[in-house]
Every structure is written in C-alpha cells, then in structure tokens.
Amino acid sequence: MAEERLLDSWSWCTEDITREQEKVVRMLERDLEDSVFWKRLLALKERHIILLEKMLEAQEQQAIMLARAEEATVEDCQVLDTILTWYHLLPRPQPWPCLPPGSHLLQASQWTWAEVKQYFQRLWVPTAAPTWIPQQLSPSTRAHPPLTQAPCGP
C-alpha cells in the first residue's frame, strides 16, 4: 500500500508537471500570437499615418491650386470688366439708313468693290471741327475723333 501511494503521488506529480509544462507552452503560444497581432497592428497604424500624411499633403496642394484659381478668377473679372467698359464706351454701329427697301435681300456677290467703297465714302464723312471734349473721354479714345454721318441722298 505504501508503494501504491508512492506511485500515485509520483503520477500526480508528473501529471502536475506535465500540466504546468502544457500551460507554459500555451502561454508562450498565446504570447507569440499576441506579439504577431501587435506587430500587424503597429504596421497598420504606420500605414494609416503615412496615408494621413499623404492626404494632408494633397489638401495643401489643393489649397494652393484653389488660391491660384481664385487669383486667376479675380484677374479674369478685371479683364472682363475692362472689356465691358470698352464695349460701353465705344460707339455702336448704326444701321444703314440710306439703303433702299428690300436691299437686305441682295447678296454680297452682286456688289463690286468700287460700289461698296463709293457707298461707304458717301455715308461717312469726317467733320472739319471736332464735336467732342477731350476731358470727357478716356485716354485711348482721344486719338480717334468721332465721325459724323453725312446726309443721305445725291
């Protein structure tokens, strides 16, 4: 009986040691899995940080491009304002009052160059004395005095 007890206690001790070893092996495996998980998580966070840095750089470039576009828009508005101002300052073309009725039906090929030239010479004749005041016009229109219309007819 003493031998049986000794064998039983010996088997219990070996079972305990085996269980402890298995427990240690499981803990090491779990620690290894945890370390692999944390390494992958760290790599994912690093990629996320790199992606955020690229997004920040792209946003900065977009802000620069938007500022350039806004400057161009302001310049375009100034150019458009200048064009519209000139459009309103320049004299508008007047309809030809001396054309015979139905002349809009004539084709351009029916007129000779001499007829067209003679017609325009008859319509517009510059005046001898200027009828404008230089102070009221912009600098670029001062060089071109306005033309007055000659009376229609022979």
Q: Tens-of-pLDDT digits for all 154 residues of the chain?
A: 778 888 888 888 899 999 999 999 999 999 999 999 999 999 999 999 999 999 999 999 999 988 888 887 877 888 888 877 777 776 666 655 665 565 555 544 555 667 766 666 665 555 555 555 555 545 554 445 555 555 555 4
Task: Say how far apart CA 32 and CA 38 lie, in whole Å.
Answer: 10
Q: With a threshold of 0.85, does the pTM exceed it?
A: no
Q: Could you give phi then psi for residue 145, rounded to 5 degrees?
A: -70, 150
Let me know: does 153 contact 98? Beta carbons within 8 Å: yes
User: What does the DSSP 8-state code read for residue 124?
Assistant: E
Spatial neighbors of 138 by CB under 8 A, at least 6 apart, are 89
